[in-house]
Amino acid sequence: MPWLLATGLVTVLGVASVAGRVVLAAAVVVVQFVFALGGVRPAAVPAARPAGWLALVAGVAGSVWTAFGDTADLEPVAALLGPVLVAAVVVQLARRDGRNRLTESLALAVAACALSVLPVAWIALRAADGGAYAVGLGLLGVGVAAVAEAIPASAAMRRTLAVLVAGGLAAGLVLLVDDVASAVPAVGAVVVAAFGALTAVTALAAVDRLATEIEEADEAVLVPLFVTLPIIATAPVAYVLGRILVG
């Protein structure tokens, strides 16, 4: 049941965020491990193995840098992407297999590295003013989207419902929890949670589309992508909205 794994991972991130920035970074590293080694490395694309390892190194480096840096900015992401893209090209130059499917292989490496670094935004957001609340609301949206996948209805229906429920739950938190109400405007809470869910369900739809196009040899990557891509894709959205509407 992939939805259960996804829900569990989101819950781990939420609890880690409450414990602090460094603990959240450790949980983000778990996401990066699952994505890079489970969703990228086994892909039936030339040089997928080194691409997975490169993505993992880039993601972990960004997480560690951000966790121990005294900033809520995304400087580590910007600083890492350039060298990582150069490294992805070097990986292709080092191939000794004739470099077949070169464009596809390079695209996989570049996309994998960029996606692996994106969840660093959760750690940076946690350090911002009101960041704990913003991270919680963003993860609320992702968690609702994951749970909604268990509903026996069409994908469009359950994912639309997830966005609505996420916004409703955020509004309920503001009304019922004084600490949340004093730290987060009601509109801001609803927007962060609803857009978190919207981004998560969009990532799930992308995984669905990928499932219809990939070869049978690539099917092993689908569950790791289903579990991690909503968390990865939502990170920059939650960061921007959280900094604007919560901080």
**Using one digit for the tens of pLDDT, what is the confidence trace for 137-187?**
999 999 999 999 999 989 999 999 999 999 999 999 999 888 888 888 889
Q: Is the pLDDT of residue 71 over 70?
A: yes
d(CA 50, CA 56): 10
Reply yes or no on whether the pLDDT at 213 is more than 90: no
Number of structural domains in the chain: 1
Range of the domain at 140: 2-245
For 39-62, what is each residue's pLDDT tens digit? 888 888 888 899 999 999 999 999
Q: Is the pLDDT of residue 2 over 70?
A: yes
pLDDT at 216: 59
Residue 188 has pLDDT above 70, yes or no: yes
Task: Round the average pLDDT of the chain to a whole number and report it.
Answer: 90
pLDDT band at 218 (very low <50, low <70, confident <90, very high): low
Confidence band, pLDDT 50/70/90 cuts, at residue 211: confident
